[in-house]
Amino acid sequence: MFPGAGASAQVIVQSGSGGIITGDRLRQRISVADGARAQVCGQGAVSVHRRGADAGAVEELELVATTGGHLENLAEPRLLHDDSDLEQHTRVELGQGTVLTVESVVVIGERCNYDSTLEVRVAGRLLARERTRFTGADLPAGTRAVGLLVLAGSGPSAPVVHEAEWVQWERAAAGGAAYGAVSRLPHGAGLAVRVAARDGAALRDAMDRAIGVVHRADGAPEISPS
């Protein structure tokens, strides 16, 4: 969808299967340049099904923003069912652009495995790496959902961090069914927001509020993924 000049184009990624099954190897590469703005979202939460005898499933994603481009990847949550096994590998490549990307998982079943690595690079040079790894048994009692938001930029496009707004966001998250924390990425590459929540609804609320903070700081009109 193209809302008009100066606004973000919106891309909805759809899947014919409606879920991720054992042995899947899913690869995407999305890039923006020359001042373009794009927001990528999904059709809804994605079920990750039981691991087979050989292997689980892998998602590989490359997000590229150069020459003033701004890219938002607002992925829908992955729903981890009984005996599911999911690896996610995300690479953010910057060249005077900004990328906002979201990862979130909700544990539906038991004995699941999740392993996520997100890297931020400029011209191939590693600036930051975020790692999330757990089994269903590792999560604290009362926690069934986790999320990560990364806002990354380089050069003139490095994001401005409004600390007062993020302090308010952390307090709001702590007052509900979620816990949130914000930290700066190494080498001035941006910021990372982490959320642990009681369930998917609490996670979505906290993540949506975090995205709202980013949009207000950016001054761009918000586009609802729904």
pLDDT in tens, 97-121: 999 999 999 998 888 999 999 999 9
Amino acid at 37: R
Contact 203, 176 (CB under 8 A): no
Exposure string for 67-85, b = 16+ CB within 10 A, e = fewer: ebbbbbbbbbbbbbbebbb
Rounded CA gap, 69 and 55, in Å? 37
Q: What is the pLDDT of residues 128-184, one digit of tens each?
A: 999 999 998 888 888 999 999 999 998 777 787 788 899 999 888 877 799 999 999
End-to-end CA distance of the chain: 13
Question: Looking at the domain assignment, is residue 163 inside a domain?
Answer: yes
Partnered with residue 12 across adjacent β-strands are 41
Task: For residue 224, tell me if it sits in a domain.
Answer: no
pLDDT surpassing 70 at residue 88: yes
Q: Are 65 and 31 in contact (CB under 8 A)?
A: yes
Domain assignment of residue 91, yes or no:
yes
Structure tokens at 179: 């816990």
In this prediction the pTM is 0.90
Task: Write the CB contacts of 44 (distance below 8 Å, at least 6 apart in sequence).
Answer: 76
198 lies in a domain? Answer: yes
CB 85 within 8 A of CB 56: yes
Residues 6+ apart with CB under 8 A from 125: none
Residue (of 64, 77, 62) closest to 38 by Cα position: 64
User: How many domains in the chain?
Assistant: 1
Identify whether 171 is part of a domain: yes
The reply to whether 2 falls in a domain is no
Q: Which two tokens stand for residue 40?
A: 């990528």
Q: Is residue 226 in a domain? A: no
- Residue 147's domain comprises 9-218
pLDDT tens digits, 20-32: 998 999 999 999 9
pLDDT value at position 5?
Answer: 53
Residue 3 domain flag: no
